[in-house]
Structure 1
Amino acid sequence: MKILKKILILPILLLGSLIGCSSGDSNDGTAPNTPTINVVINTEVVGTTTAMPNGDGSGLVKYTVTPSSGVSYKVDFGDGETAEPASGIFSHTYTESGTKSYEIKVTVFNGLKYYTATKPITVFVATKEIWGDEFNVDGAPDTNKWGYDLGAGGWGNNEPQYYTNRPENVYIQGGYLKIKTIKENYLGSTYTSARLKTAGKYSFKYGKIEFRAKLPAGAGTWPALWMLGDNIGTVGWPACGEIDVMEHVGNQLNKIFGTLHYSGRSGGNGDSSTTIISNATTEFHTYTLDWRADSIKFYVDNQLFKTFTNSASVPFNQNFFIIMNCAIGGNFGGAIDPNFVSSIFEIDYVRVYN
C-alpha cells in the first residue's frame, strides 16, 4: 500500500510543476513574455454618404488603431507617405485626385515584438488647384512666387546667353508672362534672356502641373518648362532629379520633348520621348505633367505621349520646384540664326493641381 501511494504522488508533483510554468514563472526567475497583441485598424473616410461612398473629396481619413495607447506605432498609408503617431488615433489626407485604393499598414511594438496589420481603403479626392499664377497683373512677376537664376557661364550646356531679371527680358503684359531673348552685348555675353524659378518659395510632390504657352521662333531658341528636386543643393545634379515637362528647339520646329534626368541618365542620355504638334510658335498649347507615386505621364493638349514607371529607385518621390526659361544655342539649342534679333516666349498660366 505504501508503494502505491508513492507512485500516485509522483505524477501529481509533476503536474503541479507544469501548471506553475504555464502561468509565466520560470526556473530562472525571469518575467513572463508580454501577451500577443491583436492589432485592429478602424477607418472613417470623412464625408462618406450613400451618394459618395468614398468620401466628400477632401481625402481625409480618420484612423483608430487598437491597442490605442502604451505602445509605439509605425504607419504606411499606401500612398508613399509614412508616420509614427504618438497613439493609435490619427488622421491622414490623401492628395492624389480621383478614386484610388490603398492598403494601410500599421506596425505596433509592444516592447518586445512587432505586430502588423493591414487594411484596404478606397478614397475619393476631388481635383483642385493648389497653386498657380495667371499673370494677370502687368509689370514684373510676383516676387512672392518667382525668383531668378542670374548670370552667364554656359549653364552646363555652353549656352551664350546672360540671364537677367531686367524688364527688357522678363515682364507681364496683357495677361501673359513674356520672356524675351535678345541679341545684344551685355556684361561679356552676346545674348540675354531670363530664367524664373520657384525655389525657396514653392515646391510640391505629386499632382498635375499644367502650362499654357506659345513658344518663341528662331533657329537656336530653346524654351523650357521644367522642374528640379529641392535637394539639389545637397546631392547635386542629376541625383536630385530633373523633370522636363516641355522643351523645344527652333532648329527642330514643332517637335516637343518630354524628358527625365537622374543618376545614370544625365545630359544627352536622358529618358526622353517626343511628339510633333502644329503651330508651336504661333499658337498657344497646353503642356501637362501627371506625376504620381507609380507613374509620370507627359501630355500636349491632353494627348499622352510619354509614360514613365516611377519607383523608389529614382528621385521622383520628393518635392520639386518649377523653372521657366528660354536659352539659346548651346549643346541642345544648336546653331543660332545669324539674323536672329529677338524672340518672345509667352506663358498664359501655370497651374498645379493635387
Structure 2
Amino acid sequence: MKKNVLLLLIIAVSMLACKVTTRSGKHGYLYTQKAGRAEKQWKLVWQDNFDGPRLDTGKWTRIPPNNAAWGRHMTSDDRCYQLDSGKLYLRGINNPDTLKDPRPFLTGGIYSKGKFAFQYGKIEIRAKLECAQGAWPAMWMLAETDRYGHYPKNGEIDIMEHLNYDSIFYQTTHSYYTLNLKQTDHPPHYGTAALNPLDFNTFGISWYPDKIVFHLNGKPTFTYPRVQGVDPSQWPYDQPFYLLIDQQLAGDWVGKVNPGTLPVQMIVDWVKVYQ
C-alpha cells in the first residue's frame, strides 16, 4: 500500500513538473508560460492544421471590417476564404457587388481574439504569399487584456508583413514607446529579411520575458530586447497576445491597389504555438 501511495506521489510531482502553461480566462483560453521555462525545451500547446472541412470557430473568428488602414476591406464573405487539402486560403479580391457593399475590394483574415492568447513561448506559421500591387499580407499579434490602456500602449508584434512584389519582408514591434515617444532606434524596433514569397516559408517568433527573437524557417533574423533604464512603455510585452493572420489590401504604406493584379491570396498550411 505504501509503495502504491509513493508511486502516485511521484507521478503527481512529475506531472506538475511537466506542466508548462497556466491557463486562465473564460474557458481557459489565456495561456501563460510558467516561470523558469525560458531555457527549457518548449512543448506544443496549441495548433491548427486547417485540415477540417471548415474554419474551426473554437479557435478563430473572421476579422470584421474596421477603420484602420489594414482593416477597411475586411469581410466575412465566403469568396475570401477557402479550406482545401489541409490549407487555408485568405484572399484579396475585387468586390463583385459594389451596390451591396460600396468598397472596391474585399479581404479575408482571421484572428484568435477571445479564443486563444498566449504570453511567452514560440509561434510558427507556415505559409505561402502571393504578390499583387497593393497586397499587404500580415501575421501579427495584439494584446488580449489591455493591461496598459488603449492602443498603442499595449504594443503590437508584427511577425511578418510583406508589400507588393518585394523580395524582403518586415518584422516589427510597435508601442507607445516607438510611436508616441519616437524611440525607434533605442533599440531598433524592426528588421527585414529576404525571402522568395512564392515558396512556403515558416515565419515566427520566440518570445521571452526579456526579448522577442524573430525568425524565418527556424533561423533568427531580428531581436527586440527589453531595455533597462528607459520609459516603461518600451516593454508592454508581459501580457497575453492574440494572433491575427490576414490578406490585407491598400494603405499608405503599401500604396494603391492595381485591380488588374487581383485576386491575390495567402495560403496558410499550419499554426503552432509552443511554451
**TM-score normalised per structure 2:** 0.78
Q: Per-residue displacement from partner, 1:122-177 (whole Å, max 9, x unpaired)?
A: xxx442110111101133x1110011331253x1x2x5852112221112111111
Matched position secondary structure for 2:65? coil
CA–CA distance in structure 1, aligned partners of residues 147 and 106 of structure 2? 26
CA–CA distance in structure 2, aligned partners of residues 259 and 239 of structure 1? 15
Q: What is the CA distance between 1:59 and its match in structure 2?
A: 5.8
**Alpha-carbon distance change, 207 to 337 in structure 1, aligned in 2, over 3 angstroms:** same
CA–CA distance in structure 2, aligned partners of residues 162 and 353 of structure 1? 32
Residue 202 in 1 paired to residue 122 in 2? no
Aligned to 1:257: 170
Identity level (%):
26
Residue 136 in 1 paired to residue 136 in 2? no
Q: Per-residue displacement from partner, 1:311-354 (whole Å, max 9, x unpaired)?
A: 58310010100111111111122132242220111110110000
Q: 1:272 aligns with which of 169, 184, 190?
A: 190
Aligned to 2:258: 337
CA–CA distance in structure 2, aligned partners of residues 319 and 163 of structure 1? 24
**TM-score normalised per structure 1:** 0.62
Check conservation: 2:132, 2:262, Cα contact below 8 A.
no
**Alpha-carbon distance change, 197 to 95 in structure 1, aligned in 2, over 3 angstroms:** farther
Unpaired segments of 5 or more residues in structure 2? 1-12, 21-31
Check conservation: 1:135, 1:348, Cα contact below 8 A.
yes
Q: 2:79 aligns with which of 152, 168, 177?
A: 168
Which one-letter code corresponds to 2:154 in the other structure?
A: C
Aligned to 1:296: 212
**Alpha-carbon distance change, 211 to 336 in structure 1, aligned in 2, over 3 angstroms:** same
Aligned to 2:130: 216
Check conservation: 1:183, 1:340, Cα contact below 8 A.
no
Could you tell which deviates more after superposition, 179-188 or 210-219? 179-188
Which one-letter code corresponds to 1:274 in the other structure?
A: T
Residue 346 in 1 paired to residue 257 in 2? no
Larger relative contact order (Cα-Cα within 8 Å, sequence gap ≥ 6)? 2
Aligned to 2:42: 127
Aligned to 2:62: 148
Aligned to 1:96: 37
Aligned to 1:245: 159
Could you tell which deviates more after superposition, 305-314 or 167-176? 305-314
Unpaired segments of 5 or more residues in structure 1? 1-45, 48-54, 61-80, 82-91, 99-124
Check conservation: 1:292, 1:310, Cα contact below 8 A.
no
Q: 2:202 aligns with which of 286, 305, 321?
A: 286
Aligned to 1:309: 225
Whichever of the two has the greater Rg, that structure is 1
Matched position secondary structure for 2:104? strand
CA–CA distance in structure 2, aligned partners of residues 334 and 165 of structure 1? 24
